[in-house]
Each structure stands twice: as structure tokens, then as C-alpha cells.
Chains A and B, each alone.
Chain A
């Protein structure tokens, strides 16, 4: 899972607390920066964002304009977690710092740019990295999890019969439908092609109930061009075990893989739902 140390920058501007706002505005503008640090004797005292500089009287010194509450995150923070923290703090910039060593700064723009790569441009849904992150969190919180893997039936035929652009419109519609049907405590992603995955913080029976509900929703939904769309669903429920610790990402990968195999089995079943119970989840050390 990608962490912020891979996208933070060491190329930042540092000014003295006694530097004037006008001078800093010029420096920031010339170097095309969106913020600068205020440093005195190798000690970071604060930070100035463009907003701070725009709102300040040009005669003021940095010490009178800077933000002194500096949000700091460890380098190993996953991108999704950084976004949550920056949203909560309404921070434009965070310092990436390990103990006392500054590794760089991370701006909201840079983070959004990187997270954009984890968003599927066609459906607007997140890609699988988001699911791995949320799954890791749920396991760390000691929650039960289940995975629902959905594969659109005969999507290749839809593409061949109606054309790929209409096939794309079906994928968009499926994404929208799934978003409206899944509960608040579920996480959805487009896994690839015509496959979607739902991570649910719930025991297996709730996942089976949701899969059945999804089947009904697909059957009654009016898809574009009168195309009939159905899905084959593989469900895997995790069973918590304290036998040995394991890597949470490996656990999620394993669960998704098992669920994908179940969805293949489901294609041959009338109900189009196949369930695998009791995949062991080892408690995180």
C-alpha cells in the first residue's frame, strides 16, 4: 500500500520568522510554491500557506502571520489515511516527519493528484487500493469482515452485441446502482473490467442478504438500451482466529481471491450466488 513518504517533497522553501510578507510573497511566487516553512536555528517554528500570505498585511513579518500548529504525519501513513486526517484538520499542507527528522512536506494538491490514480475514471469508483486500506483498518479494529465479489454475466456478449461504448455506459450504470444499494458501512470498488468488489464490516449472513438484495436490484433496474444485466456473486466471510499473526494486506488479498473464485462458481448456479464460509482471519499482532 502506497504511503506518503513516496509522494512528499523535500523541495520546499524555508524563510526566517523576521522575513517580511512582501518578500515571502515574491519568493513563493517566483518558485511556484504553495507554502513555505518558517525556520529559525534549524527549528521549524511555523508554516505559511498562500492563503496566509494573501490575507496578511504585506508589512508584517512571518512570525506574525504563520500557522504554528503544524500537522505532522509519519512517513508510513497510507495515502487514504492522510486524506482523512487532512480533511478532518482542514490542512492544506502536512509535515512528513519521523521522530525529529523532517522527511518532506505533503500538500493537499499533491495528495489529490496521487489519489486520482486510484480512482476509476469511467465509473468514478475507487480502485482496489482503497479496499485494501479499509480492510486493513477493519481488521486492526477487530471487526468482522466479508467480501462480495460481483462479476457481470456475459459482459463480453454485451460488448459484442451493443458495442464497447454502450458496454461502458452499462458499467457506469452498474457502479451507480451499487453505490445506491450498498449500506453505509460497506466499501465499494471497481476491481477491474466488469468486476466490482464490496467490503462489508459484517458477518456472513448480512453479506448473503445484501447479495440477494443486489440480485433483485439488478433484475428490476432499467438499464440503458433495454439491456438485461445480471451478476454472479462470490461471497467470502472471514472467521477470526488467534492462532498466528499475519500480514493484514495478505489476508485481504486472500479473501478477495477466494471471493473471485466463488463468483466463477456462481456463474453455474441458478441463484448466481456462491458462498464460502469461514476463511480464517488471523489476528493482527
Chain B
């Protein structure tokens, strides 16, 4: 059989989905040996979503920094939020990983007013 009559075929599959804006959600937990550092992550999202994210660097055995959406900090103090993220994040993260996290904060308020 000559090359021109070959029955080789290629199958092409496509997955189309909407681009997530910004490509990270609320939080990135960056390991200290991860291929992308916190500054690179912040600069990346800063280009797409300027001034929306901040880096919190930390002294931790394997987590170098947490990049988080600034809006979260208006709902919860930074130290409380970081403590919470670390408690959960360090259970699954390691030095080589970058963990993407989504966080929903609901503030419950109950007030009474004089009638």
C-alpha cells in the first residue's frame, strides 16, 4: 500500500468553556517549592484584574505565601482569615503545590431596634 493510500486518521476532540475571570478564584496557597511564586501569581492576576489581590507572605515550613482577594478582607480580619486558610490548607498542600481555594463568607447579623 503506497503512503498516499494510507488509512491513518486523526481524531480531534474539543472542549469549549468560558474563560474564568480572573483565572484564580478567591485564594491561592503557594508552596515554597512551587513552580510559580506568589509574585508571579499576583502579577498575572493584576494584569487581568488590577488591584484585586494581595500577597500575604509567611514563615511556614512549606507554605510561602497566600494570595487572596482583597474583598475578603473587608468581611473578615486578615489574621483570622489566614489562620482559617492555613488550618485547612496545610492538611492537603505541600511545598510543590499551588492550591486554588474558593471561600464564601456570610455575615449573620441580628439586631433589635427601639420601637
Contacts and interface: CB of A to CB of B under 8 A. Distances in A.
Interface of A: 17-18, 57, 59-61, 63-65
A17 B45 CA distance: 16
Contacts of A59: 35-36
User: 9 tightest CB-CB pairs across the interface, nearest first?
Assistant: A64-B37, A59-B35, A63-B39, A64-B39, A61-B40, A60-B37, A57-B35, A64-B40, A57-B33
B43 interface: yes
A59 B35 CA distance: 5
B85 interface: no
A59 B37 CA distance: 9
16 contacts: A18-B43, A57-B37, A59-B35, A59-B36, A60-B35, A60-B36, A60-B37, A61-B37, A61-B39, A61-B40, A61-B43, A63-B37, A63-B40, A64-B38, A64-B40, A65-B37
Contacts of B40: 60-61, 63-64
* Interface SS majority for chain A: loop
B34 interface: yes
Interface in B31-86: 33-40, 43
Given A60-B37, A61-B43, A63-B40, 20 more contacts: A17-B39, A18-B43, A57-B33, A57-B34, A59-B35, A59-B36, A60-B35, A60-B36, A60-B40, A61-B37, A61-B39, A63-B37, A63-B39, A63-B43, A64-B36, A64-B37, A64-B38, A64-B39, A64-B40, A65-B37
A64 B31 CA distance: 12
Contacts of B35: 57, 59-60
Nearest to A63: B39
Q: How large is the interface on B (under 10, 10 to 19, 20 to 34, 35 or more residues)?
A: under 10
A125 B27 CA distance: 58
A92 B91 CA distance: 36
Contacts of B37: 57, 60-61, 63-65
B50 to A, nearest CB: 17
Nearest to A62: B39
A17 B35 CA distance: 16
B44 to A, nearest CB: 10
A65 B39 CA distance: 9
Nearest to B37: A64
A186 to B, nearest CB: 42
B7 to A, nearest CB: 41
A65 B35 CA distance: 11
Interface string B8-39: 00000000000000000000000001111111
A55 to B, nearest CB: 9
Contacts of B36: 59-60, 64
Nearest to A17: B39
B113 to A, nearest CB: 51
Nearest to B65: A64
Contacts of B33: 57
Nearest to A20: B40
A64 B98 CA distance: 14
Contacts of A64: 36-40
A57 B64 CA distance: 13
A64 B37 CA distance: 5
